[in-house]
Amino acid sequence: MKQFFVILSMILLAANPLAARTPKSPNGRLTLTTTVNGLSLNYRGQSVLELPVLGYTDAHYSANPNNPELPTLDFKLTQSNLKTDYHMLIGKRLHCTNRANEYVLELSPVAKVRLRLYDDGLAFRYELRLQRQRVPEEQTAYRIPAGTRRWMMRWSDGYEGFYPLATSSDNGRWAFPALLEPSDGTFVLLTEAGIEHYRSAASMHNDGDRFRVIPEKNELTLSGDWSSPWRLAIVGSLADVVESTLVTDVAPACQLQDISWIQPGVVSWVYWAYNHGSNDLNIIKKYVDMAVALHLPYVLIDAEWDEMKDGKSIEDAVRYAREKGIKPLIWYNSSVGWINGAPGPKFRLNKPEDREREFAWCERIGVAGVKIDFFSGDDQRNMDYCIDLLESAARHHLTVNFHGAPIPRGWQRSYPNLLSTEGVYGAEWYNNVPTFTARAAAHNATLPFTRNVIGPMDYTPCAFSDSQHPHNTTHAHELALTVLYESGLQHLADRPESFLAQPQPVQQFLGQLPAVWDETRLVSGYPADHAIIARRSGKTWYVAGINGTEQPRDLDLSNLRAIVGNRLVSNAFLDADEDRAWQLQSDVALPATVHTRARGGFVLVIH
| Residue whose C-alpha is closest to residue 403's, from 453, 337, 468 | 337
SS3 (DSSP) at 243: helix
| Residue whose C-alpha is closest to residue 359's, from 403, 314, 393 | 393
| Residue whose C-alpha is closest to residue 571's, from 537, 603, 523, 538 | 603
List Cβ neighbours of 414 (8 Å cut-off, separation of 6 or more). Answer: 251, 252, 253, 254, 255
> What is the rounded CA–CA span in Å between residue 118 and residue 238?
16
DSSP 536-558: EETTEEEEEEEE-SSS-EEEE-T
> What is the rounded CA–CA span in Å between residue 333 and residue 342?
8
> What is the rounded CA–CA span in Å between residue 556 and residue 353?
56
**Among all residues, which ones are annotated catalytic?**
373, 428
Cβ-based neighbour number of residue 357 at 10 Å: 13
> What is the rounded CA–CA span in Å between residue 262 and residue 353?
24
Encoded amino acid at 482, one letter: T
User: Which letter, b or e, does each residue of 533-545 get, where b requires 16 or more Cβ atoms within 10 Å of its Cβ?
Assistant: bbbbbeeebbbbb
| Residue whose C-alpha is closest to residue 463's, from 448, 449, 480 | 480
Cβ-based neighbour number of residue 47 at 10 Å: 14
List Cβ neighbours of 90 (8 Å cut-off, separation of 6 or more). Answer: 264, 412, 416, 419, 456, 486, 487, 488, 515, 516
